[in-house]
Chain A
């Protein structure tokens, strides 16, 4: 699964930014990775805004797909407040903060399980997502087919345990690796694999045998 991040270390020459000796006020935040921003924010809290700018849209989108946009407004904001307040415990070896933020968001979503399951069950009955923009499919047949897929997937997601659903959606929507999911959920990687296996199996059955998480070139 391809990962995309706004501050991929591969794209940033961090070796040239020796933050221990550099006046951080003169370094453009866009040039440093997430871990460095968080480290700076311990001395200068407003540096943390850089992390917000990098991730707010993706975290909000992740939550909105699970709970709807209104709940996402609150939870996305809470995610960054929680992250800010716990930044002292951030592992600086993790150069990208995306998995950490997705993990916080997932923990906050956990308090709204019933809402998520109601939403998914409603979608599984109608196939029409009230939150969505107009469907992409440009034909009636295409729209109906897309709604049918959505209806089945919603039913499958609603029927999963919340733990299995968390893993599946962190991988599929958050684009976290298995190792990252294990780290943010604080479970062994074997548990991640088994949860993902169960989740994929349910989704596959719902779609009549196709593996919906399978990448197609």
Chain B
């Protein structure tokens, strides 16, 4: 008897759902234009700003958790991403927690503390899954600015964000299609950053929703509409078991693009944000000195990031509205 051949031979075959999802990913890849090299600009972004940009990209993908709610739905299996979106939306609609529904005053900021897998070595964009750093960010509630400690205790503020605000999304009609249309309009009206060059519209929409949900206090109706909008974006699927950088297990909204795949991980029971994971799906070169926005005479390709290389992994630790950047909740 050939025991090795039979070993684990009763492992279940691929499900119809997984097969369809894989086929859909492949078909999307077939229909999308080939990824183009990042467009080069005629000015050089300072090195600190480049690092800031990387942090922003990472943070924008992880912030879906703010405004997540505690629900009582303990089922952890989802037939598809629509079911995940629907359950999360219903939990959002049921929520009456003041911490998530109160309206902040204009000019306030959202404080976010997270644990993040750091880069292995700049400029390589691959993170070290065995190490952690703590990062504190402050998002302006107008959705346009982000502040962080520059490493010396000085708080610096950068203009970032979607330009969309929670108040914009709260204007009627607040439906999944309506909020998604606003998100897409915002994406279309906002030039791609150096880190978004070649990124498909649907990937930028996914990132925008993440940023909105994380960086803006949203009404329960808006949160519910965004949860139901996520499955309407091509390339978004459910990952049944995802793990954040703190080792917590949850479920994820996952987006697979031409070059990268991101997971927004939420609690499988309460849909609170846990963290984000992202990785390459294909080998591609990364830039050296100067970053992707550096002029040709400065930017040099430093190497290749392999398919499967982790690009971001985080755990969301604390969120609170504060009066100004640099203010921490205990202060």
Contact = CB atoms under 8 A, between A and B. Distances in A.
Contacts of B239: 70, 74
B4 A213 contact: yes
B10 A73 contact: no
Interface residues of B, number: 33
Contacts of B25: 77, 80-81
Nearest to A74: B239
B3 A80 contact: no
Given A46-B30, A108-B308, A133 B12 contact: yes
A62 B308 CA distance: 18
Interface stretch (A9-17, A32-40, A53-61, A180-188): A53-61
- Does more than half of chain A's interface fall in helix, strand or loop, or is it mixed? helix
A70 B240 contact: yes
Interface in A55-100: 56-57, 60-61, 64-65, 69-70, 72-74, 76-78, 80-82, 84-85
Nearest to B129: A114
B15 to A, nearest CB: 8
Contacts of A134: 10
A52 B282 contact: no
Interface string B220-253: 0000000000000000000111000000000000
B4 A172 contact: yes
B159 interface: no
Contacts, number: 129
B26 interface: yes
Interface string A2-31: 000000000000000000000000000000
- Does more than half of chain B's interface fall in helix, strand or loop, or is it mixed? mixed
A173 B5 contact: yes
A132 B10 contact: yes
B21 A131 contact: no
B11 interface: yes
Contact of B23 (A49, A82, A173, A207): A49
Nearest to B241: A70
10 residue pairs, one from A and one from B, having the closest CB atoms: A77-B22, A212-B3, A45-B30, A60-B14, A132-B10, A73-B18, A65-B8, A111-B308, A172-B4, A212-B4
Interface of A: 45-46, 48-49, 52, 56-57, 60-61, 64-65, 69-70, 72-74, 76-78, 80-82, 84-85, 108, 111, 129, 131-136, 149-150, 153-154, 157, 168, 172-173, 203, 207, 210, 212-216
Interface of B: 1-5, 7-15, 18-19, 21-23, 25-27, 29-31, 239-241, 256, 281-282, 307-308
7 contacts: A48-B30, A56-B14, A57-B14, A61-B11, A168-B4, A213-B5, A214-B2
